[in-house]
């Protein structure tokens, strides 16, 4: 958890997601995960989170109309995410399309694409990468990406929200990697805070305190607080 918290702080959401999945399923190879469509990565992250934090997801989005933040709770189990049963997604679904005479065969984006995009420093580079990856001209890229997302429905889930303050409606893209990376970083911060409090009172090492069951840490924290 702490190691993943460190990675969450310093790396991109996509790289973090790959690390989290590889930590959760040590039998998987990185090349396997990089070949997954994005929806499969999202599904694995939802399953991973279920084992550590349960099914209820909560976040505090900001209303784009009035600027207020509000509480949003949801359960990805109701949105088509399930237990990943097959790590080999098989051949990617494709669809043929024609852009003013240019034929193209569109496929979903895969994890490798996402990591490559995140490494592109400028937006222009990312667009050029994606156009090359999908084998379309850059002017057709946004249409191609739309089709690509349709081929991978789990990567393209939007949460319908309504601001309790001003009633404005807003659709938010469900991005499990970013959500989970932030959640794990918050948990790691809290854990480090506990370690610091216990170390200050008892002068034990970080490794010893981390090796304790959570209940023992809570016991000492209660003692320190009283």
Residues that bind Zn ion (CB under 5 A): 63, 65-66, 163, 165-166, 168
Min. distance of Cβ 69 from Zn ion in angstroms? 9
What is the sign, positive or negative, of the torsion defined by CA atoms of 22, 25, 29, 34?
negative
Cβ distance to Zn ion smaller for residue 56 or 165: 165
* Distance between CA atoms of residues 136 and 144, nearest Å: 8
Of 43, 24, 34, 55, residue with least CA distance to 84: 43
Q: Where does residue 42 rank: exposed (0-12), middle (13-18), buried (19+ CB within 10 A)?
A: buried
Cβ distance to Zn ion smaller for residue 96 or 171: 171
Distances (CA, A) of 103 to 130, 134, 143, 170: 17, 12, 13, 35
Min. distance of Cβ 166 from Zn ion in angstroms? 3
Cβ distance to Zn ion smaller for residue 69 or 205: 69
Min. distance of Cβ 76 from Zn ion in angstroms? 24
Cβ distance to Zn ion smaller for residue 168 or 224: 168
Min. distance of Cβ 168 from Zn ion in angstroms? 5
């Amino acid at each position: 958890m702490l190691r993943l918290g460190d990675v969450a702080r310093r790396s991109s959401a996509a790289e973090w997601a790959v690390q989290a999945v590889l930590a959760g399923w040590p039998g998987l190879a990185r090349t396997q995960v990089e070949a997954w469509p994005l929806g499969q990565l999202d599904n694995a992250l939802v399953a991973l989170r279920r084992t550590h934090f349960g099914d209820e997801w909560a976040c505090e989005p900001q209303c784009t109309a009035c600027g207020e933040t509000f509480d949003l709770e949801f359960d990805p189990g109701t949105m088509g995410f399930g237990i990943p049963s097959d790590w080999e997604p098989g051949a990617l679904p494709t669809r043929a399309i024609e852009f003013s005479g240019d034929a193209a065969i569109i496929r979903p984006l895969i994890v490798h694409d996402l990591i490559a995009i995140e490494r592109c420093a400028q937006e222009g580079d990312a667009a050029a990468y994606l156009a090359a990856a999908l084998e379309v001209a850059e002017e057709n890229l946004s249409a191609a990406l739309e089709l690509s997302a349709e081929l991978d429905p789990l990567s393209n889930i939007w949460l319908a929200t309504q601001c309790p303050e001003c009633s404005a409606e807003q659709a938010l893209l469900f991005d499990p990697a970013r959500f989970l990376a932030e959640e794990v970083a918050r948990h790691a911060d809290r854990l480090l805070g506990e370690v610091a409090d216990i170390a200050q009172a008892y002068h034990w090492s970080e490794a010893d305190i981390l090796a304790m069951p959570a209940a023992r840490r809570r016991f000492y924290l209660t003692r320190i607080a009283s």
